[in-house]
A and B are shown apart, each in its own frame.
Chain A
Amino acid sequence: QVQLVESGGGVVQPGRSLRLSCAASTFTFSNYPMHWVRQAPGKGLEWVAIISNDGSTKYYADSVKGRFTISRDNSKSSLYLQMSSLRPEDTAVYYCARDIGSNTFDYWGQGTLVTVSS
């Protein structure tokens, strides 16, 4: 069974940085584009970023462009999200998700909570 396990969440002060990780297992990680999607407490899903299977292409939501960086290490079957200049509105559960075609998130992790607060 495909497994995606996020880690790295926690409480961070506004303006600081945080790095999230997503460990993938039981599938060939390097074959799939991967996404980060977030969900603020009590709110809906918000797409954050996508990275191509080889890491050469990345796209971001306007709300995080210039502050967040998505990356991957296929040798470690891992996905990352480097978040900088964090704001209170970045507070959310962050999910990683596998993409099997254009806009199909077939597997999701359990999420990791990021709280930006002083």
Chain B
Amino acid sequence: QSALTQPASVSGSPGQSITISCTGTSSDVGGYNYVSWYQQHPGKAPKLMIYDVSNRPSGVSNRFSGSKSGNTASLTISGLQTEDEADYYCSSYTRSSTRVFGGGTKLTVL
């Protein structure tokens, strides 16, 4: 049950686009289309942003999108806004029916 691998930090300027990667194995990310992404602001509970690789829940901006290729999933945020500054976590279903999170990525909007 090793954590999925995410970059520790990414940054971008307002209006730009950034992509956060999430790398696992064929036993988790690569084996199932059950990757989700969460946004967490300091001191707050996580918020669901993307589920089943690329689906957006109602109420989440269409600036957020998800994709997957092989064992790596990605979250793209376009038209960066200052309120997007937060920690982002990916999560995947695993072959053993457990779940696993990534280590998290701190997004800084410069």
**Residues of A bordering B, CB below 8 Å:** 35, 37, 44-47, 50, 59-63, 95, 100-106, 108-111
Contacts and interface: CB of A to CB of B under 8 A. Distances in A.
Contacts of B47: 108
Given A61-B1, A110-B45, A101 B52 contact: yes
B52 A102 contact: yes
Interface string B1-17: 10100000000000000
Contact of A103 (B1, B34, B104): B34
A104 B52 contact: yes
Contacts, number: 72
Interface in B1-56: 1, 3, 32, 34-36, 38, 40, 45-48, 51-52
B45 A111 contact: yes
Contacts of B51: 100-101, 103-104, 106
Size class of the contact patch on chain B:
20 to 34
Q: Is the interface of B mostly helix, strand, loop or mixed?
A: strand
Interface of B: 1, 3, 32, 34-36, 38, 40, 45-48, 51-52, 57, 87, 89, 91-93, 96-104
A35 B99 contact: yes
B3 A44 contact: yes
Given A61-B98, A103-B91, A104-B51, A44 B45 contact: no
Given A37-B46, A102-B52, A103-B93, 17 more contacts: A35-B99, A44-B87, A44-B89, A45-B40, A46-B3, A47-B101, A50-B98, A50-B99, A60-B98, A61-B98, A102-B32, A103-B35, A104-B34, A104-B52, A105-B38, A105-B48, A110-B45
